[in-house]
Structure 1
């Protein structure tokens, strides 16, 4: 695990670092602490990370300026902040967890364990997927996403208007963040259940989901029964 802590209070940063080292142990490869927004943004753009632990108030700068960049990247983001009223907005943008200050070891450990167990967020509130564009971040509303296809370490978002967008997160990471409205119907596909028009069964136990836009995507043999039960 390569982890970045973005926190302007030295005392709190040291506590987060101490607990993070204790929780991850030998799995921790690198741990970096930065106390300001501009340096953190630069570090993120030039580093390979697995997780960012982010405060939302950085010496008066708004951590959401960094959060919108962070959630578009390949890694997960966990917010650690006293601004509890910002929790819903943070989840809407695609953070893995929001740990309110003051926090204890158990609450931080619960958040960090999500990066290890890859468990889904039970009540996902995500409303956007942040996509990197040239010199900007575009927020794609979840309502516009029909299905998502794995493309190596990246994913392709297929939208209602027929356009396709590339996202830096893997299919596994997006699956953790998305609501139950999306189903993993194949090792390479996440599909919004409401977009399925029909399940097509062909000889040789080959299954396809026909979508409302006319496209057909494969259904894995091991996924067929669960999908059929949920879809009907």
Structure 2
């Protein structure tokens, strides 16, 4: 696992590094950067799994990093004293916001959200997708369902458009609010779009959406999903 810490205060950066190693395997690779420029360069050069980001970097705004990388495949945890920016950070799809000053217990709680499969998304309002060299924000409310597509995921939107996202279904499952649920190994559905449950020939299961699309339901999921739609 490769973790990037972007923090301009060396003492705090080392403290975060120590707590991170205490939680994860001692062999985890940790990269340290003290500025926006160094952080973005490191992200371009390395394939990271988790970003720990401060929002005030020698007077520079850490949101400049967040807005550039939020569409990438890794997860982000904010560690910042600027708690007034927490709502905005969650809206952009960060995994957690750890307010300074913090202790090891609070940081471990954030790491648990990274390692555990349960959904924790409550305040996310957008998913960011890369469009050419720009970042486009897709409203969560506009997503009908999400489909796994190789190394990407497809965001199927209410207007019929499909946007590609770099995060995996597993990563998005952690971010999305409880109105979304994994119904199949390849699909996450917004319950607002579900119409009725169906049993097909051969013992296959599916959900009919309000727009008449049909999505498959995994055998391990059908009992719980059927119960919710009754």
Q: Same fold (TM over 0.5)?
A: yes
> If the length of structure 2 is used for normalisation, what is the TM-score?
0.96
Partner of 2:33: 34
> If the length of structure 1 is used for normalisation, what is the TM-score?
0.95
Q: 1:203 offset after TM fit, Å?
A: 2.0
Partner of 2:160: 162
Partner of 1:177: 175
Equivalent residues of 2:196, 2:229 under 8 A apart: no
Cα deviation 1:40-84 (Å, max 9, x = unaligned): 112212210100000011111111111122221111100000011
Q: What's the secondary structure of 2:215's corresponding residue?
A: strand
Q: 1:195 offset after TM fit, Å?
A: 0.4
Alignment of 1:1-232 (within 5 A): 1-26=1-26, 28=28, 30-121=29-120, 124-232=122-230
Q: What's the secondary structure of 2:144's corresponding residue?
A: strand
Equivalent residues of 2:197, 2:229 under 8 A apart: no
Equivalent residues of 1:157, 1:166 under 8 A apart: yes
Q: What's the secondary structure of 1:26's corresponding residue?
A: coil
Give the whole-Å Cα distance in 2 for the aligned partners of 1:72 and 1:27: 27
Give the whole-Å Cα distance in 2 for the aligned partners of 1:150 and 1:84: 34
Give the whole-Å Cα distance in 2 for the aligned partners of 1:79 and 1:13: 13
Q: 1:18 offset after TM fit, Å?
A: 1.1
Cα deviation 1:117-155 (Å, max 9, x = unaligned): 23321x611100010121111110001110000123321
Q: 1:12 to 1:26 in 2, by over 3 A?
A: closer
Cα deviation 1:86-143 (Å, max 9, x = unaligned): 111111111111100000011111111222223321x611100010121111110001
Equivalent residues of 1:70, 1:77 under 8 A apart: no
Equivalent residues of 1:193, 1:231 under 8 A apart: no
Give the whole-Å Cα distance in 1 for the aligned partners of 2:5 and 2:89: 17
Give the whole-Å Cα distance in 1 for the aligned partners of 2:137 and 2:37: 21
Q: 1:46 to 1:133 in 2, by over 3 A?
A: farther
